[in-house]
DNA sequence: ATGATAAAATACCACCTGGTACGAAAATAT
DNA sequence: ATATTTTCGTACCAGGTGGTATTTTATCAT
């Protein structure tokens, strides 16, 4: 029983469609694993989803957080974020995390906890980054750090959900660029 | 068999939770209607959802569109929209239309068609309104009308989905206000 | 009152879901 | 080579889904 491969198959399936639309049966089939084997490894559907979310966070979301290096100028970071969320072919079918967050009420307790943790982590990362840019004199707004951090996270989430819905990337980019224009570097 | 009452019960159920999370069985129970009676009236789940969407559009969304009177100043309209989407207790559990749109892939053909129609209608209404305000000298941006119209619709949708997710209305209002600040009246 | 007709609900269908009891197989120990 | 333990998968479970065949109920001429 290859737990790594199974989690990977589940991740891709959740990513391509939607976590709540992919059944355990379908995952077992695609992974070539029996159902009891999967349950022995992950305990429950909730356990599997949580494992997949953790995996996704380190394998994919890390790429997003790497944009937020303290020394990266604000404008450059915003541009990179726009590209990541609205153009990057890797995110063509949206984002596992934001899909899970959108259907939070359908998740089990472990997965929901994981979603909350990632959410809080994202806001914290953006807050830290904005704080660094403020100290660097790159961002002169007087708005509360966390409010703007939340704003950016929500806008990125919106763009990624639009991508999952198959909307035109050019339109998504327009919307995201417009929303980011309230946060200027300089 | 009271079709009106049944559609109303379905609408409230879809509104309170999520269209794809409410079963036909549950609706029949709550409406005090037998399942064959419901199928005789609406044909299928898709038919019922479509009927509910149409009903919702005239009963609820009309209130949103009424904000967009051509003579209403831009700032006033934006303020009213912010209130409607992020504070109005009527929209506490989000919006049937945006919930359906978010789970478009789970809908039947009739309902999906209806969602597309409402979506296009919303963009058209905002486009017409912005055009009126531009002619009134109230809005001097050089951006494409439809791009900004889409932007506004998406931001309202985001706010309403956040409300459905139980997020703090104050935070939602912050986010929506910030996003609307790129569209100024004068 | 009775027989024909229209309306409505009970009871069912096949299918799919998450989850597991239990027997078979394989690996290890003796 | 045999006994023991551990791994693994078939085959199943109860419950719920959208949808419907069939029977019951009610209406209405006569």
CB count within 10 Å of CB A120 equals 10
Distance (Å, whole) CA B171 – CA A163? 24
For residue range A103-120, what is the model confidence (pLDDT) as tens digits? 999 999 999 999 999 999
User: pLDDT class for A2, splitting at 50, 70, 90?
Assistant: confident
CA–C1' distance B1–D30 (Å)? 29
Q: Which residues fall within 8 angstroms of residue B34, CB to CB, at 6 or more apart?
A: B28
Query: What does the alpha-carbon distance between residue B181 and residue B160 come to, in Å, rounded to a whole number?
Result: 18
Confidence check: pLDDT of B185 > 80: no
Q: Where are the alpha helices (DSSP H) in chain B?
A: 3-16, 24-31, 35-42, 45-56, 62-65, 74-86, 96-102, 109-135, 145-164, 169-180
**Probe site for chain B from A175, A180, A182 (most B CB atoms < 10 A):** A175
The arithmetic mean of pLDDT across residues A10-21, rounded, is 97
pTM flag (> 0.85)? yes
> Which residues on chain A are in Cβ contact (under 8 Å) with B149?
none
Tell me whether residues A155 and B106 touch, CB distance under 8 A: no
Residues 81-110 of B with CB under 7 A from strand C: none
CB neighbours of residue A167 within 10 Å = 16
Q: Please name the member of B21, B165, B182 whose beta carbon is closest to the beta carbon of A104.
A: B165
CA closest to B184 among chain A residues: A182
What pLDDT digit, counting tens, does each position of B163-176 carry?
A: 999 999 999 999 99
Q: Is the pLDDT of residue B186 over 70?
A: no
pLDDT digits (tens, 9 = 90+) for A42-75: 999 999 999 999 999 999 999 999 999 999 999 9
Report whether B149 contacts B130 (CB < 8 A).
yes
Which nucleotides of chain C have an atom under 7 angstroms from any protein CB? 7-11, 16-22
DSSP string over A155-186: HHHHHHHHHHTT--HHHHHHHHHHHHTTS---
B21 token code pair:
């999370």
Question: What letter would DSSP give residue B60?
Answer: I
- The verdict on a CB contact (< 8 Å) between A105 and B162 is no
């Amino acid at each position: 029983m290859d737990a790594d491969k199974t989690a990977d198959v589940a991740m891709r399936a959740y990513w391509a469609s939607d976590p709540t639309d992919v059944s355990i049966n379908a995952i077992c089939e695609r992974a070539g694993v029996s159902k009891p084997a999967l349950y022995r490894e992950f305990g429950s559907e909730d356990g599997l989803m949580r494992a997949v979310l953790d995996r996704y966070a380190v394998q994919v979301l890390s790429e997003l957080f790497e944009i937020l290096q303290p020394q990266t100028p604000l404008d450059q970071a915003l541009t990179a974020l726009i590209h990541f969320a609205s153009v990057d072919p890797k995110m063509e079918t949206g984002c596992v995390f934001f899909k899970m967050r959108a259907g939070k009420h359908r998740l089990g307790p472990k997965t929901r906890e994981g979603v909350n943790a990632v959410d809080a982590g994202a806001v914290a990362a953006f807050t830290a980054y904005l704080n660094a840019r403020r100290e660097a004199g790159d961002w002169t707004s007087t708005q509360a750090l966390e409010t703007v951090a939340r704003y950016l996270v929500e806008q990125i989430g919106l763009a990624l959900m639009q991508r999952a819905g198959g909307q035109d990337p050019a339109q998504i980019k327009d919307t995201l660029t417009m929303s980011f224009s309230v946060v200027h570097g300089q």
